[in-house]
Structure 1
Amino acid sequence: MRRILLFCMWSLSVAAQKPRAVFFEDSVTVGKETRMAMSYLHSSKSDIVFPDSSFDFSPFRYVSSELYETRTVEGKSLDSVIYTLVTYDLDSVLFVKPYIRNLRTGETIYADPAKVYLKFSITGENIREPRVKETVNVFRVRKEVNLPKITYYVLGFLALGFLVIAFFGDWLRKKYRLWKFDRTHQRFLSDFRKMAMSPKSLGNNERALKEWKIYLEELENEPVSTMSTSELGKLYENERLESALKMFDSAIFGGVISEDMPLAYRVLQDFSVKRYRQIRKTGIKG
């Protein structure tokens, strides 16, 4: 069969002296693969390239190809390839016009269009005399709960959960504590920075100091909210912090708001961030 096909290609190419493309059948069905043969007889000294999967075979789509061995006789070489194509086009006549490329000269040589007819599954008689297929009455089946399947999934999830907790429980708990720790810190910073925008407000300063002490108490696990400024100064041994706290005391209890209140806010914020980073690095309690 292959020898007969090659002989036919040789005969066609000798007659045409240019690329030849022809479908194996004269008709094709939508969605069904069809084959097209392409051959070219040329000088044995020239190098040619056939279309590949990147070529636009419209209205067909490329499926595969089979390249045959070059046949050379008396200085003439015959190259041939068989393409497997498929179409979803609805035109009654379909054309493909492929080409070959000469690598030595850069020349592009087109073949005559390969033509094939579209075979329709529905005939004119079907349209003129449509018939509806008989059907049976619908029988509704009651859906039942698949208890064995549900039990299987529940037990599977429980077993999976047990294994996750057994192997990754400590890691997950640590990650959760870190996430909660970071979230609390970011929420505190956001609120504190908003309050720092109004350093001249007496009520705002009182609230800011209270929120700062509550946050420090959560960080340190110490009763910071009940400590006085002097006690906090001794606890942390930080003169800048003690000075900033005194500015807040003067504003809250004496009604004297210093021009350096923005700096006092900054000192408290920086101190809380520093303690947060130190505690996170050394390990979170709880």
Structure 2
Amino acid sequence: MRKIILSFFWLFTFIFPFAVKASGKLPIGFFKRDSLKIGQIIPYTLYYQHPSNEEVIFPDSAFSFAPFEFVSKTFFPTRSSGEVSTDSAIYMLRTFDLSAVQHLQIPVIVWQNGASQQIKPASDSIFLQEMVKVTPQNVASLKSATKLMDVRKRFNYPYVLLGLGLLLILLLVIWGLFSRRIVANFKLYKLKNDHKAFVSRFNAHIERFNRSQSLQNIEKAITLWKNYLTRLEGSAINSFTTKEITQFYGEDEDVATALRLFDKAIYGNMLSDQSSETIVAFYLLHHFADRRYEFIKDQTLHVVVSR
């Protein structure tokens, strides 16, 4: 009931401050309720009427509100009438102190003639509500006997989906900016590895032919060469005849000479007499494959640089 009376008194004097004249009164500070719970926010009203020539400062968050903690503060504009001014504020506080009755005085700081003075209102008290009425007699043994429950870990799907979404957006941006360069560099990498494998296998056929002088090695080498150029050029060269291959490469001298010598060795049965010519044919095809690889590689590089 005391709190209600003080609240009405504060409202009345705040709304009608000009009906009261300053007479050196102390500030008025009070809680809006009689009791509170641990951690519950409660308003505390601070009200002060003073002469208009006084400069008044209300405490802010830096002030020690012990045993309470500061949460927020609401100011009200100064009201003046003649020689009387009225200042007021509402502080939102909370407490984690276990004292049954807790007291608070929030002072007002008055500046006048270069000096400051703290003026305190009458102390107001508030009761702490007890939520546990009966305390177990043997709390220590109860705590020691308590077993922790295993809790299954939960997968954080929102964060994973967010991360995947951001990664996808990043990859799309990178692809949009550098897709042509990435594709061209991948083609260069593939060209290099394919040519390296071709050279290794083609040289192996040359070595076998040097040892055995076998027509089968010639046929396998030509088939390997045609299949490599088919992949390199993107044309079905492995299905072309000797004449069609020569025409496809614009009567290139290396191609024409090498294929003519191979045809002579295979179909003319002249291998035993002209094996040195066959070796020349091997190296002509090898040299031509190197030249075509360099040409295709330079074209791919030109695409990367120009874009």
What is the TM-score of this pair, normalised by structure 1?
0.48
What is the TM-score of this pair, normalised by structure 2?
0.45
